[in-house]
Structure 1
Amino acid sequence: MGSEGQTTALALPRPLRNWAEATFHALIQPAAGPQVDFTRPAGEAALAAPDSVAWQVFRNPVALFVGGVAAVVLELAEPRLRAGVWNHTSFRTEPVRRLQRTGLAAMVTVYGARSVAEAMIARVRQAHAAVRGHTESGLAYSADDPVLLDWVQATACFGFLSAYHRFVRPLPLAEQDRFYAEALPAARLYGASGAPDSGAGMEACFAAMRPRLGASPVLSEFLGIVRHAPILPAGLRPLQQLMVRAAVAVTPPWAQAQLGLESRLRPWEARLLLRAGAMADRLLLESSPAVQACRRLGLPPRMLLTGRAETAP
């Protein structure tokens, strides 16, 4: 499995590569936040296999940004999740730091050594146990509710997969089903024991949750925050705003209508994102958790371009 015809790493001039390395590292592991060494412990496997669809999807920054925002839109559409996120996190006051922590957690879950990932997930679950309250309409919620955990897992898988499929390369249905199935071991550790295991399972999840979802001013507030927060360098801010619109565009049409959201990309905008996503898929940065995980496992980073786990010479 891999991108056909794209098995050669993208070569960048040294100044541009150095800038890309520094920018990517600052986004994933800012100096003020926790640091994770994806190269240690040497030889220890991750929760996801190197030849998994997940290793392909999660190393692409375009898919990560677009898919992550799409996932949060669908999460915030659920009233209990919306109240939990908006009332118990620092998203409104420190959006960049919150997004960075969430992004790092995703990287550890997919690429981190199993012992590191399991310890991190245990801390997340411990923190979730203290999050509970009531929505404005009086609905009780708790962050460790299995139904809500399943929805968070489902929307994350749907968001990242849909963004990769649309703005990086099309994935056959069999690979899409694999992506959902590969996420189950980590999902169970997070407490999402009923998360979908296939595309059909995702559709069933949508059907079950659809009556519970609704519009809210919080959705517009969230989109405004991620549109204008200094997440990417100033020169890439127009791309950031385009990717926020693209995130809404990858949510199901029925969800956009039900949530009062609409985003239609012009053909040239879709082509621009597809080109950016395809280029990013050929970029191998030493600061990337995927590349560092290859080092940990004794695999050549070039295997990320083909999806075939070959032992390094």
Structure 2
Amino acid sequence: MPTPLSLPEFIGRRIDSAAGDLFRAEGAYAAIDFTQPPGEAALVPPDSLSWRIFKNPVSLYIGGVAAVILELAEPGVRTGVWEHSSFRTQPVQRLKRTGLAAMITVYGAKSVATRMIEGVVRRHDRVTGQTPDGKPYHANDPHLLDWVQATASFGFAEAYSRYVSPLSHSEFDRLYTESAPAAQAYGAVGAPTSQTEMEAIFARMAARLEPSPIVFEFLDIMREAPAFPGLLQTLQPMLIRAAVSMTPEGIRDRLGLGAVQGLRAWEAPLVRQAGALSDRIVIRSSPAGQACRRMGLPEDYLYRS
């Protein structure tokens, strides 16, 4: 594993400040403190693959966008997300809350993560309706929950493997297995726990996925919404194209996402360089850094273990 990157103190402070903006959310998640309670374990342990992968903001962003593309391909999920969330009106805050929820399930103390998940399940129980073609949907439908969990797991794992450091088949299996406790708490009892199961659910869902203008509307919103602070915003359109490029080819074709929406040939090496570099920069104010302090571990533990 690469060693942590040694940076001048003033640069480290700037990065910590930027990271604070990136992970700062409003509402119920605003008070989350990953350093508390001291010593309390998370749903997954510090030596897990999840703790190492989720610390990387580049692959986390790319994987999150790819997951939403895949979610919006399913009519029930798409209608629920678009009609019952603030994606269109408050895309940045909605994205931050979604990202922070993922951070809590990985790095948060188990008691904190459990309360957060229980709250999400209660809110989702009120999300019901009909798709435009008249089919009923319910946000807590186990089949929809399995798909949402699968898209998130695939997105984060594939983005890290493609743009940061390649993962082996066994590492994909390990990562998907580690996500099982959180998935089951959300009600996704059939979520994939191995690469083979992941391929199987993608194959089963293929016939249910369909094109929609909402997918393109989402991508347009993400290009314009300032998800990153300062000059980092200039990278945002390229990272969105990276998310499109890592979406499975058959699904891209089905959704009508052509080459123009994906990475240019010269951009792929730049994204990989950004991903590899961000994997070496210790961000002390991030959920990963805070969680390490909660567990009495060095702040650079995840960068040298």
Report the aligned-residue RMSD: 1.2
Report the Cα distance in structure 2 between the residues aligned to 1:268 and 1:143, rounded to whole angstroms: 40
- Cα deviations by residue, 1:139-186 (Å, 9 ceiling, x for unpaired): 100100000000000000000101000100001111111000000001
Which residue in 1 is equivalent to 2:274? Answer: 276
Report the Cα distance in structure 1 between the residues aligned to 2:164 and 2:247, rounded to whole angstroms: 16
Which residue in 2 is equivalent to 1:21? Answer: 16
- Partner residue of 2:298 out of 274, 297, 300: 300
2:125 aligned partner, one-letter code: A
SS at match of 2:266: helix
C-alpha deviation, 1:49, in angstroms = 1.1
SS at match of 1:133: strand
2:16 aligned partner, one-letter code: E
Which residue in 2 is equivalent to 1:174? Answer: 170
- Cα deviations by residue, 1:64-86 (Å, 9 ceiling, x for unpaired): 10000000000000000000000
- Aligned-residue identity in percent: 54
1:200 aligns to 2:206 (yes or no):
no
- Cα deviations by residue, 1:186-237 (Å, 9 ceiling, x for unpaired): 1000000000011110000001100000000000000000111011124122
Deviates most, 275-284 or 230-239: 230-239
Equivalent residues in 2 for 1:114-193 (5 A)? 114-193=110-189
Report the Cα distance in structure 1 between the residues aligned to 2:93 and 2:26, rounded to whole angstroms: 11
Deviates most, 294-303 or 145-154: 294-303
Contact kept? 2:284, 2:299, Cα under 8 Å: no
Which residue in 2 is equivalent to 1:55? Answer: 51
Contact kept? 1:177, 1:197, Cα under 8 Å: yes
Equivalent residues in 2 for 1:233-272 (5 A)? 233-262=229-258, 263-272=261-270
C-alpha deviation, 1:238, in angstroms = 2.4
1:252 aligned partner, one-letter code: P
SS at match of 2:137: strand
SS at match of 1:34: helix
1:12 aligned partner, one-letter code: L
Which residue in 1 is equivalent to 2:220? Answer: 224
2:89 aligned partner, one-letter code: T
C-alpha deviation, 1:35, in angstroms = 2.2
Contact kept? 2:16, 2:284, Cα under 8 Å: yes
1:211 aligns to 2:203 (yes or no):
no
Contact kept? 1:29, 1:35, Cα under 8 Å: no
Report the Cα distance in structure 1 between the residues aligned to 2:192 and 2:248, rounded to whole angstroms: 17
Report the Cα distance in structure 2 between the residues aligned to 1:297 and 1:47, rounded to whole angstroms: 13
C-alpha deviation, 1:261, in angstroms = 0.5
C-alpha deviation, 1:31, in angstroms = 6.4
Report the Cα distance in structure 2 between the residues aligned to 1:28 and 1:303, rounded to whole angstroms: 20
Report the Cα distance in structure 1 between the residues aligned to 2:198 and 2:192, rounded to whole angstroms: 5
C-alpha deviation, 1:305, in angstroms = 1.6
2:245 aligned partner, one-letter code: A
Report the Cα distance in structure 1 between the residues aligned to 2:80 and 2:105, rounded to whole angstroms: 22
C-alpha deviation, 1:128, in angstroms = 0.2
| Uncovered stretches (5+) of structure 2, i.e. residues with no partner | none
| Uncovered stretches (5+) of structure 1, i.e. residues with no partner | 308-313
C-alpha deviation, 1:266, in angstroms = 3.0
C-alpha deviation, 1:117, in angstroms = 0.2
Report the Cα distance in structure 1 between the residues aligned to 2:203 and 2:168, rounded to whole angstroms: 23
Contact kept? 1:46, 1:114, Cα under 8 Å: yes
